[in-house]
Copies of this chain bind each other. A is one copy, B any other.
Amino acid sequence: MIIALDALGGDRAPRESIAGAVQAAREFGLEIALVGPRVLIEDELARYDPQPSGLHVVEASQAIGMGESPAQAVRQKRDAAINVAMRLMKDGGASAVVSAGNTGAVVASALLNLGRLPGIERPAIGAIFPSTDRGVLILDVGANSVCKPSYMVQFGYMGSAYMERIFGLQRPRVGLLNIGEEEGKGNDLAQEVYEKLKKTPLNFVGNVEGKDITAGAADVVVTDGFTGNVLVKASEALLEFAFGRVRRVVESKIQYRLAGLVLRDALREMRRRLEYAEYGGVPLLGVNGVVIVAHGRADAVAFKNALRAARETASSGLLAALTGIPKK
């Protein structure tokens, strides 16, 4: 199985993307197609001696910048790395695509080159939110700033299939993000989606409030891409902020610093588990292929984990499961 990596995608690419690929090849024996300008990639690869086997370079001459209009750039630059990677997968040369590039560009390129799965009107990006047990999949967190009720019902199906296949859950609990627990709460969109989700064969557990997510009230939390995006970005920043405050306290006195040294590794490990990098990117669901979106600030470890997640997702049968979603 080959995973295609958008080698230039991400704030810290190609240094960190290539480093992550080298680690993934070494540690997990992954085969990876490094897609991007050959010269740049080979320059980076030259840092590693010996180079692990399993790394292939696939030339792509164009790059999409963070400032460009993603949808336009993807259409105009047919040889952008993200387009080349998607085509490689479509043609059978790769089983999954990983990119830490502009999320809008990844979504647009996936739609352009792969298309949507039957029954899916809009793809969704899922993110794993920390919770008391195994984590909660929230979707959509940014592929759609405006959602119709039917899209969100499809998010419920996709999220359920994801948690079944990737986390091994049976009949995952699907909740609707809302501002109260009782039926009839929330804005018009939430109320309509509630009515529709109730009628599906999904294991719908009703409304889930913001405070219920970490409490593990559901395995899948359905929301529109506006609310989901605000929530996930703010939460990530808040965790960083809170741990920054912990660090500041620890560094404020010599006796705190000594105590901090004792705790450092254990806290770092705990924090890593809480954060997204270790989850290795988030899935773009609903397109006809396996696409993993890595964090824009991904470092080598995050790329390595995203590549591993891509392999797991590709071999999980998720794509086949996602084709069984009833058309509305």
Contact = CB atoms under 8 A, between A and B. Distances in A.
Interface of A: 130-132, 142, 145-146, 177-179, 185-188, 190, 209-215, 223, 225-227, 229-243, 245-246, 248-250, 252-253, 255-256, 258-260, 262-263, 266-267, 270, 274
B266 A238 contact: no
Most buried by B among A187, A234, A245: A234
A231 B210 contact: yes
A187 B237 CA distance: 22
A131 B234 CA distance: 11
Given A142-B179, A234-B235, A246-B246, A266 B274 contact: no
A231 B227 CA distance: 8
A100 to B, nearest CB: 16
A210 B239 contact: no
B226 A186 contact: yes
A179 B209 contact: no
Given A238-B214, A239-B242, A245-B274, A188 B260 contact: no
Contact of A259 (B146, B248, B262): B262
Given A209-B233, A227-B230, A253-B266, 14 more contacts: A145-B185, A179-B230, A179-B233, A186-B226, A190-B226, A211-B233, A214-B238, A214-B241, A242-B243, A245-B270, A246-B246, A248-B270, A252-B266, A259-B259
The interface residues of chain A, by DSSP majority, are classed as: helix
Contact of A187 (B131, B146, B211): B146
B239 A263 contact: no
A243 B241 CA distance: 13
Contacts of A267: 246, 249
Contact of A211 (B210, B237, B274): B237
Nearest to A225: B179
Nearest to A236: B211
Given A210-B232, A232-B210, A238-B239, A226 B145 contact: no
